[in-house]
Every structure is written in C-alpha cells, then in structure tokens.
C-alpha cells in the first residue's frame, strides 16, 4: 500500500484528533486563618463549554462532587463535571503560595491555576 502525502496527513490528523480531549483547569483563590479555610474554585473547560464556580468553607462545599486538600504549599482537587454528556471525574494538583500577614490571628491568602486530568 502506498500513501501519498495528503492521505498520510489526513490519517495523522484523524489519529491526533481522536485523543485531543481537554479536561480544563481550575482557577483557585484560598484564604486560611486559625483553623478556618475559605476556597473559591472556578472550573473552566472551553472544549466542553463549562464554567462552574464552587465555594467552600473548611471542608463544606456548595457542590457535593467537589473536594480539595490544601496544605501550606500545594492543593489537590477532585470534581465531577459533564463532558460529552457524561459525568466525568477530573482531578488535579499543583503548587500554591500562601502569603501571610504578620499580625496576631495571622491570615494567609493565595491563588493558583491547576490543570485538570481525567481520573482513571
């Protein structure tokens, strides 16, 4: 079998197009003070036309499918979103820098962007 350049290009485009699902990202802002955590996570996925914001106080979030773990220098997130009309569990983790004030009752704030990947 002989492939011409145009037919080879079409075959390669079909192969790469099949695996190009984007799982989006979260834009995170967090605030921590004396055992209190407040988090806002905006999940954005242009390919699936999703823009969903979740608010959390401590571990209570207004989206039951969303959970997170926040430490002093990283954050992990999990959420179920609709991609191609199917519930899809996505997760991600990444660094976050919390900047703290110097007063008593110290509070810390930070923000970051975390890439989402499909959970297996």
d(CA 59, CA 69): 9
Q: Which residues pair with 21 in a beta bridge?
A: none
d(CA 18, CA 1): 24
Residue 53 confidence (pLDDT): 97
Q: How confident is the model at residue 23 (pLDDT cuts 50, 70, 90)?
A: very high
pTM of the model: 0.79
Residues contacting 99, CB < 8 A, separation 6+: 108, 109, 110
pLDDT digits (tens, 9 = 90+) for 33-78: 988 999 999 999 998 899 999 999 999 999 999 999 999 899 999 9
- Domains, the chain, ordered by start: 21-118 (2.60.40)
């Amino acid at each position: 079998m002989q492939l011409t350049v145009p037919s080879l290009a079409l075959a390669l485009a079909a192969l790469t197009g099949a695996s190009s699902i984007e799982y989006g990202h979260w834009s995170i802002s967090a605030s921590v003070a004396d055992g209190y955590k407040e988090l806002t996570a905006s999940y954005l996925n242009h390919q699936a036309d999703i823009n969903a914001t979740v608010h959390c106080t401590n571990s209570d979030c207004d989206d039951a499918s969303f959970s997170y773990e926040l430490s002093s220098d990283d954050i992990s997130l999990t959420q179920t979103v609709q991609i191609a009309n199917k519930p899809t569990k996505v997760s991600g983790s990444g660094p976050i820098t919390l900047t703290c004030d110097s007063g008593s009752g110290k509070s810390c704030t930070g923000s970051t962007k975390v890439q989402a990947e499909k959970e297996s």
